[in-house]
Chain A
Amino acid sequence: MQKRETWSSRTGFILAAVGSAIGLGNIWRFPYMAYDNGGGAFLIPYIIAMLTVGIPFMIMEFGLGHKFRGSAPRIFSSISRRWEWLGWFQMLVAFVISTYYVVVVGWAICYFIFSFTQAWGTSPSDFFFKDYLHLTGSPLDMGGFNWPILGATALAWVVSFIAVFSGVRGGVERLNKVFMPLLFLLVLAFIGRTLMLPGAAEGLQWLFRPDFSAIMNHQVWADAYGQIFYSLSIGFSIMLAYSSYLPKKSDINNNATMTVFINCGFSMLGGLMIFGVLGYMAVQKGVAVSEVVSSGVGLAFITLPTAINLMPMPVFFGVLFFLALTVAGMSSHVSLTEAVVSTIVDKLAMSRKGAASVVCGLGFLVSIAFTMGGGLLLLDIVDHFINNFGVLSCGLLEIIMISWFCKLDELQGHANATSEFSVGAIWQFCLRFVAPIMMTYMVVMNFYTDLNKNYGDYPDAAIMSFGWAILGVCLVLAFVVSSKEMAFAGHTGVNGNFLRRR
């Protein structure tokens, strides 16, 4: 058996884990979530969610990866053959996400280039949908090839390929050692200049003014737990793979806590960055901040370019913002790719180079669909279903399996043995009760909402084929690959004594 690679340093591992957790969502999702859910008051459920689910879940994943040293399917298979499918489901979900996430990184690369000349002109909305995406009217109408997007997507895949192909130390760690300091530098420079602009304080006022009545709303709590869960790369094989490369005598608890704090701290910086700009934009247009606020793709590729047009140094702001977006997205994409590649290496005993070539080649072919005229609509549907059902179900099942069917005391003992501080009964309580209850609530509400009404009013055929069907295919494939004939040879059940009852 090949000796498992390890990170060369603790800093390298932390930067890689932080690079995975910090992604596009920290910049374009968190600020809007906070604004829309009580402003400053949202921070109360958010911080409670961070302490009761974010940190405990991260410690659990780091502990599992470190203890069992393998990719998700291998870890679950080694505990019980019956659970191997969950690891494969997690890996397939990560693969699907990697195929469309990379396209958004491709857009960010293109916009980074556009920002030197503000190529989006005076109407960023028309430019984005018509001139850039050539958006069709339906996800069922794929439209033609879009060469600039295809090229940028290929470039992003090449970067991930080189990082993963070069190994954990030589590729993933080295890339994050450059990308993470660069990202913080870009964001801090952006914030430093933005906060000096007129209206920036007004924007922050809209973000942080507390509406404490929001705390009584259960949906606000669900959104806070959802924001924490989605932003940490937990529950779908990434952190298991990353922590499996930790050397034997590595801290678990402090590393996990540090990763979560830095990720959430970066989200706060993202809020300062976005709402500083929105405040300035609102003042320039003579409207309220509430009239210019947005999130997601619209915020990054329409609202921000509109704001940049109004700014005193448009090239400076444009280059900084889109480079930061590219770097944040790229480091997350590398982690998605690594999670898939490590599984292939574990399962087929394939060389890392071979597995990276197969995964990135196949991933690029699938990504082509998202670069075409109907790509944005396709991406919107797939992202909705994969996140709201795939990622969430993966995380829920993992936490139920580990906290209720396995010896949590043993995992706690393992994590505490090498860590700089210990966790105990409260950690177990959060894993056994708080996280499953909140996540079950989210899964049930998501099913209730989506079964009552088509997401985004898309046609049934689109919802069925790009939403439910993709989830179904992932699930069926997970069961097929983990069937008795194809299960992990030599690993199945070797850690069976970790199960509470055999």
Chain B
Amino acid sequence: MTTGAVIMMVIGLGITWGGASLCIRKAINSQK
């Protein structure tokens, strides 16, 4: 894979799953 393709894959996975994990962490923290 080219560097450009790897970067775009990381951006796509990072923003979606990173965003989801932030939301989940916020939900867990608010329950404590």
Contact = CB atoms under 8 A, between A and B. Distances in A.
Nearest to B24: A258
Contacts of B4: 40, 208-210
Contacts of B23: 254, 257-258, 261
A262 B1 contact: no
B1 A420 contact: no
Secondary structure dominating the interface of B: helix
B22 to A, nearest CB: 8
Interface in B1-22: 1-2, 4-9, 11-13, 15-17, 19-20
A418 B28 CA distance: 15
B26 A41 contact: no
Q: How many A residues are at the interface, by size bracket?
A: 20 to 34
Contact of B27 (A41, A43, A258, A268): A258
A501 to B, nearest CB: 36
A208 B8 CA distance: 6
Contacts of A50: 16
B5 A40 contact: yes
Contacts of B27: 10, 251, 254-255, 258, 420
A215 interface: no
Contacts of B8: 39-41, 43, 208-210
Contact of A210 (B5, B20, B24, B26): B5
Nearest to A47: B15
B2 A264 contact: no
A420 B26 contact: yes
A40 B12 contact: yes
Given A205-B1, A210-B4, A258 B9 contact: no
Dominant secondary structure at the A interface: helix
A49 B29 CA distance: 28
Contact of B9 (A40, A257, A267): A40
A282 B7 CA distance: 23
Interface in A216-275: 251, 254-255, 257-258, 261-262, 264-265, 267-268, 271
A307 interface: no
Nearest to B16: A265
Question: Which of A10, A257, A265, A267 has the most chain B CB within a 10 Å cutoff?
Answer: A265
B11 to A, nearest CB: 6
Contacts of A421: 26
Contacts of B5: 39-40, 204-205, 207-210
B19 A257 contact: yes
B6 to A, nearest CB: 7
B26 A209 contact: no
A210 B9 CA distance: 10
B27 to A, nearest CB: 6
Nearest to A265: B16
A112 B17 CA distance: 29
A265 B20 contact: yes
A421 B16 CA distance: 18
A162 interface: no
A125 to B, nearest CB: 30
A66 B4 CA distance: 43
Nearest to B13: A268
Contacts of B13: 265, 268
Contacts of B11: 40, 43, 47
A155 interface: no
A89 to B, nearest CB: 32
Contacts of B2: 205, 209
Contacts of B17: 261, 265, 268
A258 B6 CA distance: 25
A201 interface: yes
A290 to B, nearest CB: 15
A352 B26 CA distance: 35
A43 B12 contact: yes
B20 A268 contact: no
Nearest to B9: A208
26 contacts: A40-B4, A40-B9, A43-B11, A47-B15, A204-B9, A205-B1, A205-B2, A207-B9, A208-B4, A208-B5, A209-B2, A210-B8, A251-B27, A254-B23, A254-B26, A254-B27, A258-B23, A261-B16, A261-B19, A261-B23, A262-B20, A265-B13, A265-B17, A267-B16, A420-B26, A420-B30
Of all A-B residue pairs in the complex, the 3 with the closest CB atoms, nearest first, are: A40-B8, A265-B16, A258-B23
Given A258-B27, A268-B12, 9 more contacts: A39-B5, A40-B4, A201-B1, A208-B6, A208-B9, A210-B5, A258-B20, A265-B13, A420-B26
Interface of A: 10, 39-41, 43, 46-47, 50, 201, 204-205, 207-210, 251, 254-255, 257-258, 261-262, 264-265, 267-268, 271, 420-421
